[in-house]
Amino acid sequence: MKFQLLNFLKGILAGLAIGLGGFLYILMITYVPGEGGKVLGSLLFAVGLFLVCTFKLSLYTGKIGNIFEGKQTKEFYISLPVMLVGNAIGAFSLGFICWAIFQNNVELMTTISGVATGRATLFTFADYLSCIVKSILCGLCVYLAVKSFALNRLKPIGILLLVFFVFVFVYSGFQHCIANMFYFGFANHITGYTFINLAFCILFNSIGPIFGVLLFKVFTKPNQQ
């Protein structure tokens, strides 16, 4: 019980960290003109995942890939939904706080409303297919970012790879379930499609790491003598 309580609290902090990354992204694309804002925002989003990895916080999308690496303990499987709830509380809470503070800021609210609405637009088969593909690819990128950092902890190459994979998924518009929770909270955009989006993102973010595990197995396979 003590372990799961700590896991839950670290999950809330992880949700806050990802929300911070999302907030930096929104700031950049709002106030830095042109493509530069998107580039800077995508790079600064990495601050959130860097904090998660450095302080060993409990981020669902950073841990789910462990399932595909081999058999885990019963405690680990129980910890996944616990940390996911914590992530949701942290991300949504920061989002709603940002909404309360900036709701009268027309520029910021226009930007975040566009981001949130775009993610919750699920009206056609193409919309759902896009959400699925972007969620799988995001799950893959997060796994590669977390794994690369863990294998090269606080070394320049580990930090560089983490920033690179985060940049790829944010700049490409891939969908991250925890980041989306922050965006929906910030935009105060809560509809039925919000929860459909989150359900799809959680499921397919969880599938993405499978491909990352396969990549690591291929490239770290011992040389045959």
Model confidence over 141-162: pLDDT tens digits? 999 999 999 999 879 999 999 9
Could you report the per-residue pLDDT of 67-119, keeping only the tens digit for each?
999 888 999 999 999 999 999 999 999 999 999 999 999 999 999 999 999 99
How much is the pLDDT for 219? Answer: 75
Say which CATH topology domain 2-100+113-219 has.
Glycerol uptake facilitator protein (1.20.1080)
Distance (Å) of CA 169 to CA 69, 96, 138, 140, 161? 22, 24, 6, 9, 13
pLDDT greater than 90 at residue 216: no
The 10 Å Cβ neighbour count of residue 168 is: 17
- pLDDT, averaged across the chain: 95
How much is the pLDDT for 224? Answer: 43
| Residue 225: band (very low, low, confident or very high) from pLDDT cuts 50, 70, 90 | very low
Domain ranges of the chain: 2-100+113-219
Could you report the per-residue pLDDT of 182-195, keeping only the tens digit for each?
999 999 999 999 99
Distance (Å) of CA 89 to CA 20, 97, 112? 14, 12, 19
